[in-house]
């Protein structure tokens, strides 16, 4: 069934929306919609899988814990986050939807 990554976004989003678009035994592809969402204070993602993420719409800032490096992301920007690289979302645009496409996989 044909779908559009920018459609079916709820008007109200108290929590970030994460939808699995496709997955198999070694890979998972997600659509993530953020609207002013951020990682909880003190929380760091430490994932078992590698993650390739591309920002399709909106804006965001990520922080990598290893060096405290901040990464400002705009549409078209993408990043490879190796497994067990601690990271967090510092902020996402509160005035418009931030649309991400994330691909997770294992070696």
pLDDT tens per residue across span 3-29: 999 999 999 999 999 999 999 999 999
Banded model confidence at residue 65, pLDDT cuts 50, 70, 90: confident
Q: What is the pLDDT of residue 68?
A: 84
Residues 6+ apart with CB under 8 A from 16: 32, 33, 34, 35, 37
* pTM of this structure: 0.93
Mean pLDDT value across residues 76-90: 97
Token pair 């994330």: residue: 102
Cα 3 to Cα 1: distance, rounded to the nearest angstrom: 6
- What are the tokens at 7? 């459609």
Neighbours of 8 (CB within 10 A): 11
Q: Return the percentage of the chain with pLDDT > 70, whole number.
A: 99
Mean pLDDT value across residues 76-89: 97
């Amino acid at each position: 069934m044909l779908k559009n990554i920018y459609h079916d976004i709820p008007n109200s989003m108290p929590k970030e929306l994460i939808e699995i678009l496709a997955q198999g035994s070694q890979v998972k592809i997600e659509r993530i919609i953020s609207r002013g969402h951020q990682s909880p204070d003190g929380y760091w993602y430490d994932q078992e899988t590698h993650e390739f993420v591309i920002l399709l719409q909106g804006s965001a800032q990520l922080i990598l814990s290893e060096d405290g490096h901040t990464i400002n992301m705009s549409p078209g920007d993408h990043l490879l986050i190796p497994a067990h690289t601690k990271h967090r979302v510092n902020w996402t645009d509160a005035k418009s939807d931030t649309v991400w496409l994330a691909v997770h996989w294992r070696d």
